[in-house]
Amino acid sequence: MSPWWRLLIYLVAAPLLGGLLAGIDRRLSAHMQARQGPPLMQPFYDVIKLFCKERLTVRRSQNYFILFFFVLTVFTGALFFCGSDLLLVFFALTLSGIFFVLGAYKASSPYSFIGASRELVQMMAYEPAVLLTAVGLYMVTHSFQVDTIASSTCTPILLLPGLFAALLYVMEIKFRKSPFDFSMSHHAHQELVRGITTEFSGPTLALIEIAHWYENVMLLGWIFLFFGTHWAFGLSATAAAFFLLLVVDNVCARVKWELALRSTWQITLVLGCGNILVLWLVEVLRIVKL
Amino acid sequence: MSSLQKSPWVIHYDASSCNGCDIEVLASLTPGFDVERFGIVNTGNPKHADIFLVTGSVNAQNRIVVRNIYDQMPEPKVVVALGCGNILVLWLANVLGFVKL
């Protein structure tokens, strides 16, 4: 399919899918807690309501940072789904995260300051695993282009199980779920009032929510990328991974940032670097034997 | 206004009550009564809230706090006084001119 068609489909379908995923998330979590939970369309009702609210700001410029965060998040997902360079996708994602943090710093309240610092710590925690994912996928498919990786004949998950496990571990951070939701947390949870989103209200908060929907769809796309051309298996594996993230969210309590950072780096080092080291050793041994 | 009906976010403030109503408010969030199935979320942030749920009586000490929280909430907003602890006292206080909010 032409990249332009994929871009159009992504721009329209990703927030719808992301909102539906958020609804499924809340409903499933509720059922795990022996209660009914909100309707599946609840995130859409929330966002529509937020757009009808008054726009309160501490400083006027803080909302422009969030607008940039939104635009860059959509841009990152568009890059990914149109098959562009994976490294560029990761760097664009980092840039959009930085704008989110800058917006919170601009709001100059103690809660948003601490939330912004914690968001930076979260980014520091997940960046190594995400970059190693690009390295690992390159080693297996010899390309950084998402198009080539997605259509490669070898299935990356078979050669990169450790890296996949490390990526699932940091997905808990990216999806902003317990135990790693110390920067901001979803609806019913609070952390330092609302953490990084404390000083945003109304339409700006709605934009942050929609940006997270776009981001979540792209994150699930990363997981799907590990399964190569086996579409049916990849889709069910992605759904299973999402369900696993939900289960861990409901089971674990929130940890402090020191534990999150340390444990994420340890897992990335052992599983991620270890996987890549093993792959490299196998490659070296193969060349030496030849 | 209908979007507000589907997703009312609540901020709950206890202004010197006996905590009886507070317990009920928090109990409604538990799986037994599960108020989240109506889309109600207890957000701790007045900037995110639509409904200001006040339990207990507003007196001279927390009058400023109540006003502060109310001012931080974006329009459209609703104030709900919960329990007889505050309604009767508030009415009396207003009638007798003690408190002007």
State how far the alpha carbon of A48 is from the alpha carbons of A33, A145, A204, in Å.
27, 37, 12
Stretch among A25-29, A139-143, B15-19, B46-50 having the lowest mean pLDDT: B15-19
Stretch among A19-23, A100-104, A228-232 having the lowest mean pLDDT: A228-232
- Confidence bin at A59 (pLDDT 50/70/90): confident
Instruction: List, for residues A168-190, the tens digit of each pLDDT value.
Output: 999 999 998 888 888 887 766 77
Cβ of A49 within 8 Å of Cβ of B37? The answer is no
Q: Could you tell me which of A75, A54, A69 has the C-alpha nearest to residue A11?
A: A75
- Helix (H) or strand (E) segment spanning residue B41: strand B41-42
Using a CB-CB distance cutoff of 8 angstroms, which residues of chain A are in contact with residue B43? 187, 190, 194
- Asked if the C-beta of B68 comes within 8 angstroms of chain A's C-beta atoms, the answer is no
Give the per-residue pLDDT at B93: 53
Using a CB-CB distance cutoff of 8 angstroms, which residues of chain A are in contact with residue B29? 188
Structure-block tokens of residue A280: 């490299």
* Chain A residue closest in CA terms to B34: A35
Counting every residue written for chain A, the total comes to: 290
CB nearest B48 (choices: A26, A54, A201)? A201
- Confidence bin at A108 (pLDDT 50/70/90): confident
Cβ of B7 within 8 Å of Cβ of A42? The answer is yes
**The residue type at A4:** W
Q: Count of alpha carbons within 13 Å of A141, Cβ hemisphere only?
A: 29
Using a CB-CB distance cutoff of 8 angstroms, which residues of chain B are in contact with residue A46? 7, 39
- Asked if the C-beta of B74 comes within 8 angstroms of chain A's C-beta atoms, the answer is yes
Structure-block tokens of residue A76: 């990152």
Give the per-residue pLDDT at A89: 94
**CA separation for the pair A56, A116 (Å, rounded):** 19
pTM for the whole thing?
Answer: 0.90
Give the per-residue pLDDT at B32: 87
Task: Give residues with Cβ within 8 angstroms of A251, minimum separation 6.
Answer: none
* Chain B residue closest in CA terms to A111: B45
CB nearest B7 (choices: A30, A45, A55)? A45
3-state secondary structure of A78: helix
Structure-block tokens of residue B6: 């589907």
Give the per-residue pLDDT at B87: 62
Give the per-residue pLDDT at B31: 84
Using a CB-CB distance cutoff of 8 angstroms, which residues of chain B are in contact with residue A53? 50, 74-76
- For A254, which DSSP code? P
pLDDT greater than 90 at residue A152:
no
Give the per-residue pLDDT at A99: 95
pLDDT greater than 60 at residue B92:
no
Stretch among A185-189, B65-69, B71-75, B95-99 having the lowest mean pLDDT: B95-99
**CA separation for the pair B50, A277 (Å, rounded):** 54
CB nearest A33 (choices: B31, B38, B41)? B31
**CA separation for the pair A22, A5 (Å, rounded):** 25
In terms of C-beta density within 10 A (0-12 exposed, 13-18 middle, 19 or more buried), how is residue A266 classed? Answer: exposed
- For B74, which DSSP code? P
Instruction: List, for residues A253-281, the tens digit of each pLDDT value.
Output: 889 999 999 999 999 999 999 999 999 99
Return the axis-axis angle of helices A62-81 and A86-106, rounded to nearest 10°.
170
Average pLDDT rounded to a whole number, residues A14-22: 95
Give the per-residue pLDDT at B98: 43
Instruction: List, for residues B4-51, the tens digit of each pLDDT value.
Output: 888 999 999 988 888 888 898 888 888 888 888 998 988 888 999 999
Give the per-residue pLDDT at B2: 73
Q: Could you tell me which of B28, B90, B26, B78 has the C-alpha nearest to residue A53?
A: B78
Stretch among A49-63, A145-159, A219-233, B71-85 having the lowest mean pLDDT: B71-85
- To the nearest whole Å, the CA of A32 is away from the closest chain B CA by 10
**CA separation for the pair A144, A138 (Å, rounded):** 6
- Asked if the C-beta of B76 comes within 8 angstroms of chain A's C-beta atoms, the answer is yes
Give the per-residue pLDDT at A3: 84
Cβ of A42 within 8 Å of Cβ of B43? The answer is no
CB nearest A201 (choices: B6, B32, B47)? B47
Average pLDDT rounded to a whole number, residues A232-239: 93
* Chain A residue closest in CA terms to B10: A188
Average pLDDT rounded to a whole number, residues A89-104: 94
**Triad A93, A100, B9: Cα angle to 5°:** 120
Kindly provide the residue ranges of all beta strands, DSSP E only, lying in B3-101, ordered along the sequence.
9-14, 41-42, 51-55, 78-82
State how far the alpha carbon of B99 is from the alpha carbons of A234, B59, B68, B88, B93, in Å.
64, 8, 15, 13, 6
